[in-house]
Every structure is written in structure tokens, then in C-alpha cells.
Structure 1
């Protein structure tokens, strides 16, 4: 059972946990050693997505639970004939290039593929969650942080640029406000001005 199944009307905190779980799933991959801990079809280990997404036809339920080692013999040779009914030649070539030792005592290891050293960091997690967002070397970022003003003004300017000011629209989306409307105008949503 997937405990992170989204449900309508869930709190901002639960929605954030749900988003983080899908982000972790996107950023994690498996480093194969003996192939006994990694699900062949459902875990990220050879492609940028689970192999089930690249299958040419539906994978039977009994195959979906198989580990990487399940598709190898004791000598470490891949069962290419079995796999070729679901996967293209290109993908099978990538799979056969992976060295797996089913008799090895070394277990498979999960790693964070968004960083060079395989470790999860706040920076790489943020970058993965914000594709196309402004990077710290961007000229606007540099201009804001070089302003000769107090730190709080620079922080505020950066939040305005990112559209992260806690307006009623944002608070309403996070279920922290009863209405997205401005308390003064009453009929107009309170947003960050775009002009």
C-alpha cells in the first residue's frame, strides 16, 4: 500500500511530505552489487526511470516482483532470451554491460543520482525540485545579493523575485488562510505585483 497517495483536502504539511516522497523517488537510484535487493522492473538502476516504463508490452504481475539477480544464472550471465520479450535491443545492451555478481556478499546500495558523490544534499535536492529555476550564478541573483542594503532587504527582494512572499494567495494554497483575497480590498486576490 502506498501511504503517500495524494488525497483531496490534505493539509499543506501532508502535501509537502507527499511531494518530498516523489522527489526522493526521482532522485534515488541503485548501485548494483549482487542484485538481490533491487527490483528489476520498479527501481531506478539502469535508466533514468524504472524499466517497466520502457517495456514494449505490459509486464506480468509475477515478473514485477523480480530482483535484478533473478534474471541471471549463478555464473553471472544475463537471461537475454527472457528479457528480449519486453525490452528493446538497446536497453538489453545497457543491462548486459552491468557487472553483477549474484554470489557476492555485497548488497546493492541506494545513492542520490543528483550529486556527483552520490550523497543527498539540500542543494542538489532543491535543484532537482526546481528545474529551470534561477541558479545562484544568475546575474539577477548576484545583483540582489550585492545591493548595499541591510540583509533583510536583500532577502525580501530575493523572495519577491522568486514569487515566494507569503501573500494570501500563497497562504491559501498552503491551507494557512481561509481566503486568497486581500484583507483590505476584499474582492481582489492578494498576490505579488508583476509590474
Structure 2
């Protein structure tokens, strides 16, 4: 962030590209604590429990042009909504009045909803993104003391579609001609290698 705003230009970092993808998630799960109101977009930031542009169904091409801050509607420590605005959006005054104006003019603060302190620590982000563990009934069959670890890893990668076959390389964005190096007859895929032919007498026998 720079000046309490998320930057959009490129910076040299090994993790920033992945962090930027999570910005919408962070904003969806955060709320602004009102201070002086200078850093909070009145219409497009969540500072009163809801995003006002969504509450009043303001089209996105219009809401993107709304740049007024909360401080624009404060005067002498009180709410100062234009009468025309309050008349057009009848519920606006009710939503705004629910937010207490602080007596001390502190900077606005973005709070994470899922912690008591409002701070977002790395451990909190990890717990939030952690998916429920799957109960894989076949896992104990693969990870067995009787099976060499290298074979267990291969089976695990096969079950998770992670074997580096031409088929999976294409899914990852690699454009290449594909031919099975064992039979030289079909495209290389996990299903073809493990289920469509078998080895017989040291030779590959196509099924």
C-alpha cells in the first residue's frame, strides 16, 4: 500500500503478484474504522456496515466516478448530508447516523473483521485461506511402510493430476506436440500411460 491505497503498478517482488490477487478478498473481509474520514470513500468503502453504492444499487460505471470522502459530509463533528441527497436516498441518513463520529480526529483505520484487534497477521491470513482437510480413504494405502517412498509419491501425484505428462504441461500453458515415448502411437497422458497399455516381456504392448 502507498498512502493507504493499494498500488496497481508492477514492483519487483517474488510474492507481490500473488498478494495482489488477494486484495479483493481482503477488502471484502475488512471494514473502515472512522477517524477523520479523509481516507474513506463515502460510497465505495465499507465503513458503516455496508457499501453504500451497493445498498442503493448505484451502477458500477457511476459508482466508480464517485470520489467523495466521508470527511466531505462532516462539519464541526456532526453529519452534514445535502438535503437533496437525503431526500433521494431516504435510508441514507439512517445508515450514516448509526456511525459514531469520534471526538478526536485520528486517521482512518482499515480493520480485519475476523480478529478482535482488527489487525491482519500472517497467521490470521493462513488460517483464513486454509481449506478443510479432505478425508482421503486411499491415502493410507499409498503411504505405507511396505511401499517405497518414490512409488508413493508417484501415486500421490497421479491422484492429484500432477504427473508431468504432456497433457498436464499443456494445461499449465506449455504448447508442444505430444507423443507417448513408450509406444510412439498416442498422445502422452496419465490415463494412457497407466491404463491403456501394459509391459510384456520387456516390451510395451498397446491395448
TM-score by length of 2: 0.54
CA distance in 1, matches of 2:118, 2:179: 45
The offset of 1:51, in angstroms, is 2.1
Residue 132 of structure 2 corresponds to which residue in structure 1?
A: 135
CA distance in 2, matches of 1:112, 1:56: 25
Contact kept in structure 2, 1:35 and 1:69, CA below 8 Å: yes
Distance 1:129 1:166, change over 3 A: farther
Give secondary structure in 2 for the equivalent of 1:29. Answer: strand
CA distance in 1, matches of 2:144, 2:104: 60
CA distance in 2, matches of 1:96, 1:179: 62
Supply the RMSD in Å over aligned alpha carbons: 5.0
Give secondary structure in 2 for the equivalent of 1:33. Answer: coil
The offset of 1:108, in angstroms, is 0.6
The offset of 1:125, in angstroms, is 3.3
The offset of 1:57, in angstroms, is 4.2
CA distance in 1, matches of 2:114, 2:121: 9
Structure 1: gaps of 5 or more residues:
5-12
Greater RCO between the two (CA within 8 Å, min separation 6)? 1
Select the structure that is richer in strand: 2
Please tell me whether residue 39 in structure 1 is matched to residue 41 in structure 2.
Answer: yes
CA distance in 2, matches of 1:117, 1:157: 44
Contact kept in structure 2, 1:31 and 1:110, CA below 8 Å: yes
CA distance in 1, matches of 2:67, 2:155: 50
CA distance in 1, matches of 2:100, 2:30: 20
Which structure is larger by alpha-carbon Rg, 1 or 2? 2
Residue 83 of structure 2 corresponds to which residue in structure 1?
A: 81
Cα shift readout 1:103-152 (whole Å, capped 9, x = no counterpart): 7331111122243432224454356557xxx425x7x28x969x9868x8
Residue 53 of structure 2 corresponds to which residue in structure 1?
A: 52
Residue 119 of structure 1 corresponds to which residue in structure 2?
A: 119
1:66 pairs, out of 65, 68, 92, with 68
1:27 pairs, out of 26, 29, 35, with 29
The offset of 1:80, in angstroms, is 7.0
The offset of 1:159, in angstroms, is 8.1
1:178 pairs, out of 171, 175, 180, with 175
Aligned length: 174
Residue 108 of structure 2 corresponds to which residue in structure 1?
A: 108
